[in-house]
A and B are shown apart, each in its own frame.
Chain A
Amino acid sequence: MLSASTLIKNIATLTLALSLPLTAIAHERYILPSHTVLSGEEAQSVSFIASISNAIFHGDKPLGDNGKGVVPQKLAPLFKRLKAVVISPDGVSREMSWQAFSRFSVADTQLQQSGTYRIALVQGDVPMTTFIKADGKKGRFFGNKGKVPSGATNVVKRTTASRVETYVSFNDPNNTALLPTAKGLELSGETHPTDLFVDEALRFQLTYLGKPLHKATKVKVVQGATRHRNQRDEAIIATDAQGKFSLTLSQAGFYLLSANIDVKGKAGSGIDIHHHSLYATLEVFPQ
């Protein structure tokens, strides 16, 4: 599996047509909301932080920009592919404005309607080709313009896509914004993602293209503040054949839930594997 860091590096290399020194770019991604549950008669605001970072909920690299921020050259091609959206409780999708700073991106949103909002940074399919070179070393390139060197074997045409999101409820939560957009891998299920409490069974389901994921996969759940623990304490949960999984958490806090799938491309589509990843930030409250 190729990491997002590799992806970023390679997009950058392709775009700049330069061979830059490969620096490590961490590859977990998240959006951290100031609040996930709000109440009141007047409109409320929520602020968000988004980052590419292995230190969960501590920023490392920004994720997303509106053209006014500080964008590292290497991340610019990735940011161009990101769609920043907020889906309102009535199901209407609007564009969101993120601004990049050195270590994270920041955004604000106003909540007028009561109900649940879904805030997402979505990266559509990025084409990528991987192969084994004649000398046995791994090779790859991004985009459609690269050339597979002669003598290369195991040539695989791929796409990679990702969705990074979180959920906020103003007054009474509803489910409209949570309905699958039917693009890539998404989170769904019985439990409302802004109604999470410790010691209660949380039941979710992964969907792919808007339908239950008919494929057993693994979901990773990690509590924030990994920087302040010696162990990451990641829980790996297997889904059933409908993409369903459940978990019970014993500590309140923000959690990052993530999942990845590889889907075989349709015959004749020219793509062998479609890779999709999902990162969802959840807030869990004490009893």
Chain B
Amino acid sequence: MADQRIDPILAQSVSPAVSAIPAPVAVAVPEARRPWRLGPLLEREHVLAGVLLAPALVILTIFIAYPFVLGIWLSVSDKVVGRPGSFVGLQNFRVNLDDTIFLRAFQNTFVYTFIATFLKLALGMAAALLLNHQFRFKRIMRASMLLPWIVPTVLSTLAWQWMFDATFSVFNWMLMNAGLISTRILWLGDGVLAMGCLILVNVWRGMPFFAITLLAGLQTVNPDLHEAAELDGANAWQRFWRVTLPLIKPILLVVVLFSMVATFADFQLIYVLTRGGPYSSTHVFGTYAYEIAMRAAKLGQGASISLFLFPFLLGVIVFQLWYIRRASD
């Protein structure tokens, strides 16, 4: 019976060769019809585009847009853990501006970001220029360069914690044995010095990213250009400023902006090394927001601290996108 019903369809829609297939296989045909119906639909460009974009959109909505909107809502509410929050307008932000620890964290975040990014750029560029030369063990050097960046932040930071330890610091041991100091330096015991240590560790960890990315940029620079400049009498310094730098500027800007965003939102390194201490002198937005939102259970207030980042980061991202688009035009 079934065979008889399917056969006419087969005869209409598939080639004679296929219609010769024995009956059991032909049962699968109703499924085979689906592309026939979907096909024309998917051939319309906007439908296909929508279908292809849908998974990405769903992911972005669930993991980026929803938490972000929720974060904004929290920051204008008095939400605490376990209780529904109500709208309080900009009250949380006003409280922040009246909070000395917050203001210190605000200042620290900018100091930390700008100094660390500048140092990472300068040292990363120097390392990239060196690595761009031909020398023995070049590959090993390039690979080992990446190590600080690959090791999980918490692990490497714990090692740094030992090196800065008030009692067992290896730096103090070396300096004392070299006769340079007579009493130990308390690396993490003073606000300014501790901030310096945090920046140092951040630079150590982030510099390889700069070095390797800039190295990739340097390798796209045509050696002929250098040769031509050299023939025209340009010295090394001039060749760097006039030839290399303009050519790798797009990649340089992208790296700096990426790094700034990441450094601005840093948390792990500071939380492991100082937890914002001593005397709340090393808090940044991330660490202070965590203390307030999680440990004091004030989700609304905590969100308003981390959202203080938002206008700045938005500016950075808008500039970044604008620049990339302009460069690619």
Q: Please say whether chains A and B are actual partners in one complex.
A: no
Residues of A within 8 A of B (CB): none
